[in-house]
Amino acid sequence: MFTTALVAILIAMSLALARALLGPTVYDRILAINAFGTKTVLFIAVLGFFNGRPEFLDIALVYALINFVGTVAVLRFMHYPAEIFQSDNDGGGS
Amino acid sequence: MNFELIIDVVLLALLVATAIGIASLRQLFPVAMLAGIYSLLSACFFVLMDAVDVAFTEAAVGAGMVTVLFLATFALTSRTELPTRPRRRQAALIAVFLTGALLMLATRDMPHFAAADAPIHSHPLYERYTVTSNEEIAVPNVVTSVLASYRGYDTLGEVTVIFTAGIAVWMLLAGRSRRNKSAKGMQH
């Protein structure tokens, strides 16, 4: 069961990574890294149960906190002038 | 095939894909995002190798702190990378491959992962750090007792370096904002 969950999480990770690599707009990338952080939390949690040592579950919880704070911090910087979005349109995904 | 080996291979493949993406992108904002993903992937990998504390530091510093520092730097400087000359690019590639080859050569001298006869288990200091340190320092965490007591002066030096660097950056940024403020005051 945990094996299936791990495989599913790894596939979801690669999908999020593909969106972060290709993502035409900057919001795609922000969402991709946020989703990737969530997948990391899930990965660590499931890996703990897979190895029979679920003590690492609280560490996964702290990861969730870091992920949330990180995303809020990134979005906070979106208050700066819109040059980030303009420059991302010309060949950002190349 | 061992399932953990497959997870290792998949995670390392994702790491390589992220690294290639970072190297090929010219816009620095996506690069900052990808660097965060790179750090989260390394954290997953460290957890897989049972180094949970290292993984935790990697995620907190690499994915949390450094991304924000990158974005703050972009706000102050530039958001695009200038193209480098092909000659210099080749030299850099050769240097990177040479260093990588040397590092891979060096791993052949390392003990196998989780080997019982590795030097960290057979060294005389092993007993001192894991058993005697509990009586000498009375801190249950071995890493903490080593960092804070056995090599306390070394840690003090490290903290001094970080503190000095932090003050220097803070002084630079504070001087900049004050100049902006006084320039605005002149206009009025």
pTM of the model: 0.77
CA distance B125 to B71: 44
* Mutation for testing the A interface, residue in B22, B37, B54, B56 having most A CBs under 10 Å: B37
Q: In this predicted model, what pLDDT tens digit does every residue of A15-71 receive, in sequence order? A: 988 888 887 888 888 888 888 888 988 988 888 888 887 777 877 888 888 888 888
Give the residues across from B27 on adjacent strands.
B80
The per-residue pLDDT for B156 is 93
Distance CA B5, CA B2 (A): 5
Please list, residue by residue across B67-83, b when 16 or more beta carbons sit within 10 angstroms of its beta carbon and e when fewer do: bbebbeebeeeebeeee
Phi, psi of A45 (to 5 degrees): -65, -50
Q: Measuring CA to CA, which residue among A81, A88, A71 is closest to residue B76?
A: A81
pLDDT tens-digit readout, B49-86: 888 888 888 888 888 788 888 887 887 777 777 777 77
Distance, C-alpha A37 to centroid of its chain:
3
> For B145-158, what is each residue's pLDDT tens digit?
888 888 889 999 99
Provide residues of B within 8 Å CB-CB of chain A: 3, 7, 10-11, 14, 17-18, 21, 24-27, 29-30, 33-34, 36-37, 40-41, 43-44, 47-48, 52, 55-56, 59-60, 63-64, 67-68, 71-72, 74-75, 79-80
Does A70 contact B52 at a Cβ distance shorter than 8 Å? no
In chain B, what are the domains? 3-82+133-187 (1.20.120)
Please determine, for the modelled complex, whether the ipTM score is greater than 0.90.
no
